[in-house]
Copies of this chain bind each other. A is one copy, B any other.
Amino acid sequence: MQVNKEQITQWFQGLQDRICASLETLDGEGTFREDQWQRPQGGGGRSRVILGKHIEKGGVNWSAVHGPLPEKISQSLGLEKTDFFATGVSIVLHPRNPHMPIIHMNVRYFETGDDTWWFGGGIDLTPHYVVPEDAQFFHQSLKDVCDKHDENYHPRFKKWADDYFFIKHRKETRGVGGIFFDQLKATEEHTKEDRWKFVQDVGESFIPIYLELAARNMSKDYQQPHLDWQRVRRGRYVEFNLVWDRGTKFGLDTDGRTESILMSMPPRAEWIYDHQVEPGSQEEFTQNNLHKDVDWLSYS
């Protein structure tokens, strides 16, 4: 028997619980505040936010919504007028320490009234300061998850992330990328069960990856200039999410819960006109590495 939407929904809820518990342990001080919300047209969610010692602001959202598919979305997906069901977990963590990267993960499941279904998701990393060894570790971890399921996944989904997490008007990537995938349906090679196991593995990979990055970076020293640069990079994060991110746009266009959608916004951001990095600085190194098609796996 195929996995059904109730099982997926429940598993995602459990994933939210496990991730929140781990993040509270990691932070040591902050605890998640939960807001349960209902969607007037059907379904709802649990938004959880932490304002912690290490995680300055973090959101871990779970939702399961249903109802008539908004026309704007059905059109853009090339679907007929139909009902839909969607469930998923979304995470954005803004660390206090500028040497710790911003991380984002999303895993989701979508189906319509007429048996169309697919999985989507991704994880990507936005370091304020690019550390090649960390980017290498991050991509290797994602490759390991992908390779368990299909050796074509990683090259395809890595490129997809490079293309998706791109701030067109800055001609720079949001960070060092990761993986992104959408509309994973059943094929000759992959049953629904296969796809679902892959998405579960992506979801489960989040905590070990983040704990390792935290162990490496969360206690590094930093001074005011690092915080200044962190706010500039956070400004770029805002630009990507509000101008280019399809999920954010759909949410705002379709009367989603604004506070849950914009949980991804950083606590503080800054815009400096024509900001220039100093030649030879760590900031310049970071800026020079914010482009597509960097082969982080074999960086040396």
Contact = CB atoms under 8 A, between A and B. Distances in A.
8 contacts: A49-B273, A57-B271, A169-B255, A170-B258, A239-B242, A265-B271, A266-B271, A267-B272
Contact of A268 (B169, B258, B270, B273): B270
Contacts of A49: 273-274
Interface in A52-70: 57, 59
Contacts of A242: 238-239, 242-243
Interface in A238-277: 238-239, 242-243, 249, 252, 255, 258-259, 261-263, 265-274
A259 B235 CA distance: 13
A235 B258 CA distance: 14
Contacts of A35: 274
Nearest to A171: B258
A168 B271 CA distance: 24
Contacts of A266: 271
B271 A262 contact: yes
B252 A243 contact: yes
A231 B273 contact: no
B259 A274 contact: yes
B231 A268 contact: yes
Contacts of A273: 49, 51, 57, 59, 259, 263
Contacts of A272: 267
Interface residues of A, number: 32
Contacts of A259: 273-274
B168 A252 contact: yes
A213 B49 CA distance: 39
Given A231-B268, A238-B238, 15 more contacts: A35-B274, A168-B252, A239-B242, A239-B262, A243-B243, A243-B252, A259-B273, A259-B274, A262-B271, A263-B273, A265-B271, A266-B271, A267-B271, A268-B269, A269-B270
Contact of A267 (B51, B170, B239, B270): B270
A35 B261 CA distance: 37
A252 to B, nearest CB: 4
Contacts of A262: 239, 271
Interface in A168-188: 168-170
A230 B16 CA distance: 34
A57 B273 CA distance: 9
A81 to B, nearest CB: 24
